[in-house]
Amino acid sequence: MSKPRLALYWAASCGGCEIAVLDVEEQILAVAEFFDIVFWPCAMDFKYKDVEAMPDASIDLCLFNGAIRTSENESMARLLRRKSKLLVAFGSCAMDGCIPGLANLTTREEIVRFTYQDSPSTANAAGVRPQPRCEVPEGELEIPEFYESVRTLGQVVPTDYFMPGCPPQPPQILAVLSAVMQGAPLPPRGSVIGAGEKTCCDECGRVRKEKHLKHFYRPWEIEPKPDECLLDQGLICMGPATRSGCGALCIKANVPCRGCYGAAPNVADQGAKMISALSSVIDSQDPGEINWILDQIPDPVGTFYRFSVPVSILHRKQTV
């Protein structure tokens, strides 16, 4: 009997999601035994033409990590959508845009100009920039087009499931793969899988009290008490706005949650939810003092929207 066919692909991301797959440790052998791995460029030498030659819907499960930054990312997303029965946005970049999505706070022109002309380590007096196509003696060279905005997988192709995390935690990856391998009933299409249905605060064991915040700290400014809520101690912890599922991993290491599991269930905009949560605990009625307290947050967008700019209500910095 032929095995189910599995594909893994890496678009605009750091590669951490691929490492997280290997972090299921020896269970990867059971995964490799169960599936026929038909495409995994990070681990084995496959060519895109190998995928193009596959019949449509012949891949049973495709774990697609990474955002859509370039035309290559988009064409692979469309190709793998066509070839896959189940396409999973695997990890925060594919699901929410994540760190690559922070580029939506600037423009393609600003990124290209800094990278190829203005950065202190660049010597490019002629201002040469990469072109999507150029002629060389051997023929025409083509490189992917760099898009104006970063998009998520679900903003480009219909996506069956969404698995959050930067990266998804190995026990969650294993739980999802095991469910598929055991033939468990699949949740409705469009569901978030490999995560919880509550907030990160709900799986955090720290003691909380009524919050009255007058001062915010950067993580390096204080050594937080190990048992008390980090937000109560003045550290911005994204737990109230973030989906559960990681086991409050960072908080157990005495580090605030940065929000990598994305918006909590039924929350449309993770950053807006966190701003709303904070606005109710700032301990002042005086506008001047409120501004002084808020000024202690040096990078509000990078703090509240670190993982979710492309799926936020604004999607990107608006330029008119």
Decide: is 208 part of the binding site for ligand SF4 (CB under 6 A): yes
Site stretch for ligand SF4 (CB under 6 A), options 38-46, 122-130, 137-145, 230-238? 230-238
Which of 88, 163, 230, 272 touches ligand SF4 (CB under 6 A)?
Answer: 230
Choose between 83 and 165: whose C-beta lies nearer to ligand SF4: 165
Residue nearest to ligand SF4 (CB): 239
Site stretch for ligand SF4 (CB under 6 A), options 16-24, 31-39, 239-247, 312-320? 239-247
Decide: is 263 part of the binding site for ligand SF4 (CB under 6 A): no
Q: Give the strand pairing for 59-65 and 36-39.
A: unpaired
Which of 66, 240, 271, 310 touches ligand SF4 (CB under 6 A)?
Answer: 240
Which of 38, 153, 201, 267 touches ligand SF4 (CB under 6 A)?
Answer: 201
Count of CA atoms in the C-beta half-sphere (13 A) of 98: 28
244: left (phi over 0), alpha (psi -120 to 50) or beta: beta
Distance CA 21, CA 24 (A): 6
The order of strands in the sheet holding 5-10 is 36-39, 5-10, 59-65, 84-90, 161-163
Tokens describing residue 153: 């997988």
Decide: is 204 part of the binding site for ligand SF4 (CB under 6 A): yes
Q: What number of chain residues touch ligand SF4 (CB under 6 A)?
A: 22
Which of 248, 274, 278, 293 touches ligand SF4 (CB under 6 A)?
Answer: 248
Tokens describing residue 139: 């023929």
Decide: is 234 part of the binding site for ligand SF4 (CB under 6 A): no
Q: Which residues contact 92 (CB under 8 A, 6 or more apart)?
A: 98, 164, 165, 166, 167, 260, 261, 262, 307
> How many beta carbons lie within 10 A of that of residue 4, not counting itself?
16
For ligand SF4, the binding residues (CB under 6 A) are 200-201, 204, 206, 208, 229-231, 237, 239-240, 242, 246, 248-251, 257-261
